[in-house]
């Protein structure tokens, strides 16, 4: 199984994401934002956290218009798997691959701490390694993680089982405690918490391992 991890100017979790994929058994290729195409044979693309292009204009807005973003969009629209974490989630929203917007935290402060999540849906390759309703602890680190959408979109996400993770103690004011959402085909996941920072016991916990192991296992089996 082959994963591509994209690096934008200002990305700071790209290495962490690559290590997480490798630890789960994936071959990882690093891709620069100016590349116009993804390498051949890619199974999943990872969009990392950080502050792409300094978060100027809007978080993820400039990255969503980079050359590689067009290739990622085409890959996703062709049925490819994409994982966007934190700033990567912001990029997915800016490209239109996922609905909604990520606004400034309700506290107007940067939040950086472990948070407890509930696994709201296991009906995806990303979340299939967890049990329904399982509680997991994953770190967050963001200033603009307040997920917002209109009521019709929120109702559709919930009705279609596309809310992957919810906050048990909402750190940012996200509507309906949403921490991560899936695309209609469940092959795209955007989430604010950082599962790649929860794969090593020396870093405080390993609850993120099941996401990467489940994803790699599902794709290898497919």
Rounded mean pLDDT for each run of 10 residues along the chain, 222 residues in total: 97 97 98 97 97 92 97 97 98 98 97 98 97 98 97 98 97 98 98 98 95 96 80
Q: Which of 86, 94, 142, 143 is catalytic?
A: 86
b vs e for 140-177, b when ≥16 Cβ sit within 10 Å of the residue's Cβ? bbbbbbbbebeeeebeebeeeebbbbbbeebbbbbbbb
d(CA 134, CA 97): 27
Res 57: pLDDT: 86
d(CA 192, CA 194): 7
Res 24: pLDDT: 97
Q: Which of 33, 142, 143, 194 is catalytic?
A: 194
Res 86: pLDDT: 98
Res 73: pLDDT: 98
Long-range contacts of the stretch 32-36 (C-beta < 8 A, 24+): 32/6, 32/7, 32/68, 33/6, 33/7, 33/8, 33/9, 33/63, 33/66, 33/67, 33/68, 33/69, 34/66, 34/67, 34/68, 35/67, 35/68, 35/71, 36/67, 36/68, 36/70, 36/71
Residue 213's Cβ-count burial label (10 Å; 0-12, 13-18, 19+) is middle
Task: Break the chain into its structural domains and give their ranges.
Answer: 2-221
Q: Which of 13, 94, 143, 196 is catalytic?
A: 196
Res 222: pLDDT: 76
Res 212: pLDDT: 98
Q: Which helix (H) or strand (E) holds 142?
A: strand 135-142
Res 221: pLDDT: 85
Query: Domain 2-221, CATH 3.40.50.880 — does that match?
Result: yes
Q: Is 196 a catalytic residue?
A: yes
């Amino acid at each position: 199984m082959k994963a591509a991890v994209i690096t934008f100017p200002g990305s700071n979790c790209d290495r962490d994401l690559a290590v997480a994929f490798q630890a789960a058994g994936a071959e990882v290729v690093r891709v620069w934002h100016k590349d116009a195409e993804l390498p051949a044979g890619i199974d999943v693309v990872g969009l990392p956290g950080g502050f792409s292009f300094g978060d100027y204009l809007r978080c993820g807005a400039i990255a969503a218009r980079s050359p590689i973003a067009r290739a990622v969009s085409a890959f996703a629209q062709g049925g490819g798997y994409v994982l966007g974490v934190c700033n990567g989630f912001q990029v997915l929203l800016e490209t239109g691959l996922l609905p909604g917007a990520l606004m400034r935290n309700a506290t107007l402060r940067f939040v950086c701490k472990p948070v407890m999540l509930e696994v709201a849906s296991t009906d995806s390759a990303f979340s299939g390694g967890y049990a329904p309703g399982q509680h997991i602890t994953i770190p967050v680190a963001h200033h603009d993680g307040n997920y917002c959408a209109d009521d019709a979109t929120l109702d559709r996400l919930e009705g279609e089982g596309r809310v992957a993770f919810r906050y048990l103690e909402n750190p940012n004011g996200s509507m309906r405690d949403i921490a991560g959402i899936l695309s209609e085909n469940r092959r795209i996941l955007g989430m604010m918490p950082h599962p790649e920072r929860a794969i090593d016991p020396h870093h405080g916990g390993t609850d993120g391992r099941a996401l990467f192991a489940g994803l790699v296992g599902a794709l290898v089996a497919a």
